[in-house]
Structure 1
Amino acid sequence: MSVETRSVLTAVLAAAVAVAGFLDVLPLAGLAAVLVVVLAAGWPALAGLPFVPGSVAVVALGGLGAVAAVTFTPLQPYLQHMPLVFAAAVVLAFVNELLRRDGRVRLVESVSGTVTGTVLAVCVTGWVATARLEGGAALVVAGAVALALGSAAVALHGRRGLVYLVTVVAATAGGTLVGAVLPTVELLTGAVLGFGVGVLVAAMHALFDRVPALARRLPSLAVAVLPVTVSGVLVYVAGRVLAG
């Protein structure tokens, strides 16, 4: 899958997050669950983990459990059960190693890679938690628009440094535009959120651009999904800290 295709796919997923967040929390949670499954399916191959089926199961269970916990926690803070969910996922990562029958080669790499994938999957709950805040739907739209524009900019051809600069500028402009249009999002909040999302998109593109595993479909899909899942944390921080 080419970088252009991955970038467009990320932008489309970001647009889907904006629509789902505007509709209601449950559609957004459903979309978050789908993103977790896609990331879990491709992450072990992307990270080169030795026991793919077990790592897929741990990342998927950790991410889906986190989405469910955030969606159905009745009162704020909506992330209050996240430590418990993540602790259970870490235990599952070690159980996964106990189930291996291949001599447990690259044990440390397998455990750390599986836990890392779980962290990345859990980050998607930031979108759901933000949508549940007062005025949070507008923040979800701001973050998603910034992500869509920044991801689309990555597909441009040119010098790498210039493309990354355009990516950050496009994402910042997107967040700022939403902040100017929607009264529930302050202009500064939208600008800072867009800048953070732009830096994240550029950094992830630089990190994974030349990974050999991207020649295969599932790892490519995981890379396309990653900016969407991880951006959830940035949006939540903007909602709790910048927007008060």
Structure 2
Amino acid sequence: MKSWTVGVVGVAGLVAIVAGAYSSREVLLAVAAVTAACVGIGWPHFLDIPAKKTLAALIGLPGVGSAVAATYLPAPGFLNWTPAFVAGGVMAVFVMQLIRGTGQAQRLESTLGSCAGVLLSCLGAGWIACARFNGIREMLVVAAISAAIALTAGLIRWPDRIVAPLGIIGAGLAGPLAGLVISDIAVLPAALVGVVVGAVLVSFRRLVIIRGETLNLPAALGMGLGPVSAVGSLAYFIDKLLLH
């Protein structure tokens, strides 16, 4: 698959998250769980590291657990268990690498890359926390629209020196505009969400370009949904710090 498939997968994931947020918490949980599973399955394929099936479970399961906890924990501690799931996933990755033994191929790359995958998988619970926070979903929509703009900009086959500023500025402008249209969210928090989300997503675009190979379906799913998973927690914490 071509690299632009990653952006399409990301936009589709954002649409599913917004639809889940406006349906029910069980639907949003299902979307978050599927996203974590896709990150778990796809991330080892994107990194092209050994033991893909085992690492898929070690990366995906903590993300699913973090999403379940964020769905059912009482307010305001929606993400209280997320660090524990991250730590558990990282420890499991290290134990697995120890079991593989010394001298195995790509052992260091597999360890570091898998730990990053665990973090991305678990941060997806932030979308659930964002939707549950005071029962207000507007910031979730603002973050999703900003992310969609950044991902769409990333589809343009121009050099990074053009696309990166375009994605960040576009996301930064889309946030306040979306906030003004759908809610009374202040311009500054919405703009900050847009800029931060845009910066994260265009950074991941660079990783796809550096890899420089055609991606298979699992790799495209993992790389498309991994950054989308991460920006959910960013939006939640910005919402919590600046709006309340």
Deviations 1:117-147 (A, max 9, x none): 1011111111111111015311111100111
| Distance of 1:87 and 1:234 partners within structure 2 | 19
1:227 aligns with 2:214: no
Secondary structure of 2:137 counterpart: helix
Structure 1 residues without counterparts, runs of 5 or longer: none
Of 81-90 and 224-233, deviating more is 81-90
Shift in CA distance, 136/99, structure 1 to aligned 2, threshold 3 Å: farther
| Distance of 1:157 and 1:79 partners within structure 2 | 37
Residue number in structure 2 paired with 1:117? 117
Residue number in structure 1 paired with 2:13? 13
Secondary structure of 2:158 counterpart: coil
Residue number in structure 2 paired with 1:80? 80
Of 213-222 and 65-74, deviating more is 213-222
| Distance of 2:43 and 2:4 partners within structure 1 | 20
Structure 2 residues without counterparts, runs of 5 or longer: none
| Distance of 2:13 and 2:68 partners within structure 1 | 20
- Provide the TM-score with structure 2 as the length reference: 0.90
| Distance of 2:224 and 2:233 partners within structure 1 | 17
Q: Which stretches of structure 1, 4 residues or longer, exceed 6 Å deviation after superposition?
A: none
Secondary structure of 1:209 counterpart: helix
Kept in 1, the 8 Å contact 2:63–2:121? The answer is yes
Q: Report deviation, 1:84.
A: 2.3
| Distance of 1:88 and 1:73 partners within structure 2 | 19
One-letter amino acid matched to 2:7: S
One-letter amino acid matched to 1:176: P
| Distance of 2:158 and 2:94 partners within structure 1 | 44
| Distance of 2:159 and 2:58 partners within structure 1 | 39
Kept in 2, the 8 Å contact 1:7–1:151? The answer is yes
One-letter amino acid matched to 2:48: G
| Distance of 2:96 and 2:158 partners within structure 1 | 43
Of 160-169 and 230-239, deviating more is 160-169
Kept in 2, the 8 Å contact 1:10–1:224? The answer is yes
Taking only aligned residues, the RMSD between alpha carbons, in angstroms, comes to 2.1
Kept in 2, the 8 Å contact 1:39–1:221? The answer is yes
| Distance of 1:163 and 1:48 partners within structure 2 | 26
Percent identity over the alignment is 25
Kept in 2, the 8 Å contact 1:42–1:218? The answer is yes
Secondary structure of 2:133 counterpart: coil
Deviations 1:174-232 (A, max 9, x none): 21112112334222211111111111111110122231454322112211112211111
Secondary structure of 1:32 counterpart: helix
Of 48-57 and 213-222, deviating more is 213-222
Q: Report deviation, 1:113.
A: 2.4
One-letter amino acid matched to 2:80: Q
| Distance of 1:9 and 1:54 partners within structure 2 | 24
Residue number in structure 2 paired with 1:204? 204
1:134 aligns with 2:134: yes
| Distance of 1:31 and 1:184 partners within structure 2 | 27
Of 133-142 and 94-103, deviating more is 94-103
Q: Report deviation, 1:37.
A: 0.9
